[in-house]
Amino acid sequence: MSKQTLGNKSVLYPYPVTILGANVNGKANFMALGFVGIVNTNPGMIALGVNRNHHTNKGIFENKTFSINISSQDMLEVTDYVGLTSGEKIDKSEIFDVFYGKVKTAPMIKDCPLTIECKVIKTLDLGGADDIIIGEIIESYCDEEFLTKGNPDIEKMKPAVFSMYENRYFGIGEYLGKGWSMGKEYKSEK
Ligand SMILES: Cc1cc2nc3c(=O)[nH]c(=O)nc-3n(C[C@H](O)[C@H](O)[C@H](O)COP(=O)(O)O)c2cc1C
C-alpha cells in the first residue's frame, strides 16, 4: 500500500450531477451543482455549497427558495453549459422549459427526471469560498416513466456522476446488490 496525501481537496467522489435553480430578479437562472447532499430526514433537508460570486445565490437569498434538478446522461451538454456560463452575463432563463410548484419561486426543469423544491432554513458563512445553504424539501416531482413502485428508479433515470479535479462525467454502473441486506452475508476474513 502506498497512500499519497492529497491535502485539503474536495475529493468526496463521486459528485452527483445536478442543476441548481433560483429566480433572480423574477427570472429563472440555473447552474450546474456538484456540492450537494441530503443532510437530514424528517424533514428531508439538502445542503449546498455555492460559490458566493455566483449569480444564482442572489435569487436564493432574495426568495429563500431553490430547486435541485437531477440531470440525466442525455442532458450533460446543457448541464455543462449552465456550469460554464453565468446569469450575470448570459440570460439562462429560456434554456429549459420550466414549471413551478408549492414554493412558487423555485424554477424546476421539466426535462429533468427528478426535481426537488426547497425552502431555505439556514445559510452559513464558514469563511471559505462558498455560501453553505441548507434547504428543507417542500416537494419533489418525478415523471411516472422513471418510477418503480412509487419511488425514483436510478436505472430508469440514468443520472450521471462527476469528478472535479479531472472534470469528467460518468454514467452510473450496473446494479450490485441490495442495501441493508448484502451485509448480512459478511464474514470477517481477519
Ligand atoms: C459539473 C459542474 C459542477 C459544478 N458544481 C458547482 C458547485 O457545486 N458549486 C459551485 O459553486 N459551482 C459549481 N459549478 C460551477 C457553476 O455551475 C458555474 O460557475 C456557473 O457558471 C454559475 O452560474 P451563475 O453565475 O449563473 O450562478 C459547477 C460546474 C460544473 C460544470
Going by C-beta distance under 8 Å and a sequence separation of 6 or more, which residues neighbour residue 189?
none
Q: Return d(Cα 147, Cα 53) in angstroms, integer.
A: 37
Q: Which pLDDT band, with edges at 50, 70 and 90, does 1 fall under? A: confident
- For 29, the 3-state DSSP assignment is strand
Q: Which of 117, 92, 100, 105 is nearest to 30 (CA)?
A: 92
**pLDDT, average across residues 4-20:** 97
Residue nearest to atom 6 of ligand 1 (CA): 33
111-142 pLDDT per residue, tens: 999 999 999 999 999 999 999 999 999 999 99
Among 11, 27, 31, residue to substitute to test ligand 1 (most atoms within 8 Å of Cβ): 31
Residue-range domain boundaries for the chain = 15-185
71-92 pLDDT per residue, tens: 999 999 999 999 999 999 999 9
Predicted confidence at residue 190, as pLDDT, reads: 86
Residue nearest to atom 2 of ligand 1 (CA): 32
| Residues at CB less than 6 angstroms from ligand 1 | 17, 29, 31-35, 49-51, 54-56, 80, 83-88, 162
**pLDDT, average across residues 18-39:** 98
Superfamily of domain 15-185: Electron Transport, Fmn-binding Protein; Chain A (2.30.110.10)
Predicted confidence at residue 92, as pLDDT, reads: 98
160-176 pLDDT per residue, tens: 999 999 999 999 999 99
Task: Give the atom of ligand 1 at the shortest distance from the alpha carbon of 130.
Answer: 11
Task: Give the atom of ligand 1 at the shortest distance from the alpha carbon of 129.
Answer: 11
